[in-house]
Structure 1
């Protein structure tokens, strides 16, 4: 991983007992009252009803106990939260309780490359295990009326300004005018990455979660695996990912390595990895929707536990009801209204930089809760699935960064909304990605091409 180059960077600092109250009571003698005559023999129907009633009572009580244990188990798994602050430096508070979240949601998901405490399979003697870079940074935006959602992926090597961030040990870190986005996590932790993305997008971010390798593995396993399409063989010695062309159901370690592979997809760049991850995410959402996962308490519990045990959450996310409330907002969003996009960027020496006009069009639409319409390619890490006529084939080299000198790629069309698409904002072609209803395949890359 690239080292942090700025000399301004400082290292980030980074059973309850049950009371036993006894009650005093007098023993009460139960008397038996004898009645004249024979007792009536209970009928088979009456006996059957009693058995049913007893069984139902036991089931309800047992179910309540199991539910209580499950809730306690999840709550006990939650790690201490990270305090987030808004753009004014104020703590994020006063968040609603359980139920479909009453309004819009901005949730930041950060994937850390830290090997600290991870499976031995990820320990490389040549890699600093104490490093903590945000190699994956995604912002999930759900509109206030819950009619549409957008997941924006930010390139790790994109040069951005990093604002002054709170130091967990007190005080604050200095701001920096130009650093790669993936240094923000090691600089000031999850709160710093949230502030950086908030400044970059103009959106307040009240929820954030940091996940490491083990967390991704646990989440994919809780889903029972995700079936992805591979157009060409994927061969990557770095992540030990070797997949033939066709469909593969991935979970645990294999799912994680598929998401991590860079050398084995597209042109081998981090941008290709983003579009490859979008193949996985769209397949996952299709699977979640078809299996009605968001209405299945058992699966939701497994996912909540996996998240609580394996993620570092912001204070605002550490309550179980908040996690479920956010999940419930996606329950009724149509797949065609869930978009996975890449932050518009252009290639520069040593990385990429934002395309400001295109980014402004994207985040103005999200800020106004307007649906978006993509005109750009899916990216060089993905191709259209032949069985899906709605998917857009990526242009050659589309993932290598747009040409900032090309007005057509960087600015929205003159008519920025499409009445035929329900007033969706038409985005410039430099905003690449796909919708969750599109079936796409990973564009593999063999060792011979590396």
Structure 2
């Protein structure tokens, strides 16, 4: 043992050990492998990928900023007394969503090639008014067209430049754009009882550039034609791919199709949109980010939108929602109208069909029948037979003194449903419940929405009347000019004593985006041979 220690000490003094001085070295442990230099090609690839990543993120940021800088905004609701619908929030992935799409005929700026400011200056007039409604579950879309010469009340509005535009008791709906796009939003809110969430205002240039970015939209006409007196649209018989100037001419022509009326023009616009929807779906554009960016660039450069849409994520959210919807569930509707009583060249709402349709929109009643594709996380509500039965516990009934004497409460039923004698059925129902002082307030102009108004100290009676007729509390309002309680029956309640049954007007859907085998009928005055 002493000898081994001495050998070790001597070796240490010499600066080595026995093992180290031998020709055969011990193998290294498996966790301590010799260090190797990284291959040059790996370094080059890593640097290149890092560069691409930095450039890609930088480019994405620049593209985002470009889109943001393109955006022009205006207030969502320009009415001096906006009430509901005056806040502009970013759209969510679910929940009902209404977007008003407007086309202006202004000749200002880049649109001067289509005429002078004398033809249409400033905001212009609304050539196109389309209300797109996306259902809360993303299974249905309705696109409702409002005729440009529809006569409606126009509210007082504050323009984006701060000037006030005073409204009219009855004026053409397309003239509301003089108060800015938010004024048209306010007018349609008042007309329908809806609260529109967003708007998009496009001019002639937007239509041209968008149709070109899409590579054209397919249309079909039943005869070769040439609109020599208006848009100068020229098409051969059968199918054509229109884009740019030709797409704009197709949407602008007022005389070339059908009976040359504004309603025929609307039908052609709906036809074009149906074809556009089919193209977007078949090409996968709504889920293709590069293509979506191209469209977003065109859209943001040529549209005026409200503040809630003034960001790229909001637009992407809408595109994702639309991508989920079956084209057969994209329904096109024209608001029911009839000739205006004071001028047959204009139109007014046809009641009660218009009021019924607006109730359909407010209640999100489906207009088409194609069932949505079930999702993996969908749940089925338990049926009455499958629900657990809980034994009822008998409670002693305690008589409650009435809060008031029903027989002396003044209740008036006013008929704005356009159905003759409608008030009598409801007065009879009130009398059956003890409200024997009810009276007939007579017939008034059509009201799209049923309401209950009450005067001083009558809130409890109004609430009980609403419960009796199953009317929501949101329809009950205080009105100091009313003595007692006033039930105003609207076109959304044309029969029965229980409110809430929504009637879809017959043949309200003019077409769906799934209808691809039709050709528009050309006005014979514009035939070419």
Please indicate the TM-score interval, normalised by the length of the shorter structure.
0.7 to 0.9
- Corresponding residue number in structure 1 for 2:71: 78
2:506 pairs, out of 399, 421, 428, with 428
Does the C-alpha gap of structure 1 residues 225 and 40 become closer, same or farther in structure 2, counting only changes over 3 Å?
Answer: same
Structure 1: unaligned runs, 5 residues or longer: 1-37, 375-403, 406-410, 416-422
Which 10-residue stretch deviates more, 175-184 or 46-55? 46-55
Maintained 8 Å contact 1:149/1:333: yes
Q: How does 1:213-362 map to 2 (within 5 A)?
A: 213-237=204-228, 238-348=230-340, 349-362=344-357
Alpha-carbon distance, 1:355 to partner:
1.1
- Corresponding residue number in structure 2 for 1:59: 52
- Corresponding residue number in structure 1 for 2:15: none
2:521 pairs, out of 426, 431, 443, with 443
Q: How does 1:48-197 map to 2 (within 5 A)?
A: 50-84=43-77, 88-89=82-83, 92-93=86-87, 95-96=89-90, 101-123=93-115, 127-129=119-121, 132-168=124-160, 170=162, 172-186=164-178, 188-197=179-188
Matched, 1:372 2:362: no
- What SS is found at the alignment partner of 2:106? coil
Q: Which whole-Å deviations, capped at 9, do the CAs of 1:382-435 have from their partners, x for residues lacking one? A: xxxxxxxxxxxxxxxxxxxxxx99xxxxx99x99xxxxxxx9964323x35211
| Aligned equivalents of 1:159, 1:209: Cα separation in 2 | 22
Q: How does 1:15-30 map to 2 (within 5 A)?
A: none
Q: What's the Cα RMSD here?
A: 3.1
Q: Which whole-Å deviations, capped at 9, do the CAs of 1:49-104 have from their partners, x for residues lacking one? A: 5555444333322221221111111111112433426875367436247xx53311
Which 10-residue stretch deviates more, 254-263 or 86-95? 86-95
Maintained 8 Å contact 2:85/2:197: no
How many pairs are equivalent? 364
| Aligned equivalents of 1:212, 1:179: Cα separation in 2 | 23
| Aligned equivalents of 2:97, 2:87: Cα separation in 1 | 14
Maintained 8 Å contact 1:235/1:447: no
Alpha-carbon distance, 1:125 to partner:
8.7
- What SS is found at the alignment partner of 1:372? coil
Alpha-carbon distance, 1:343 to partner:
0.9
Does the C-alpha gap of structure 1 residues 240 and 191 become closer, same or farther in structure 2, counting only changes over 3 Å?
Answer: same
Alpha-carbon distance, 1:253 to partner:
1.2
Alpha-carbon distance, 1:353 to partner:
1.1
Does the C-alpha gap of structure 1 residues 206 and 128 become closer, same or farther in structure 2, counting only changes over 3 Å?
Answer: closer
Does the C-alpha gap of structure 1 residues 447 and 94 become closer, same or farther in structure 2, counting only changes over 3 Å?
Answer: closer
- What SS is found at the alignment partner of 1:330? helix
Which 10-residue stretch deviates more, 199-208 or 121-130? 121-130
Structure 2: unaligned runs, 5 residues or longer: 1-33, 370-417, 420-490, 496-500
Alpha-carbon distance, 1:228 to partner:
1.5
Maintained 8 Å contact 1:112/1:211: yes
Maintained 8 Å contact 1:81/1:318: no
| Aligned equivalents of 2:88, 2:332: Cα separation in 1 | 29
Q: What is the TM-score of this pair, normalised by structure 1? A: 0.73
- Corresponding residue number in structure 2 for 1:9: none
Does the C-alpha gap of structure 1 residues 199 and 295 become closer, same or farther in structure 2, counting only changes over 3 Å?
Answer: same
Alpha-carbon distance, 1:169 to partner:
5.2
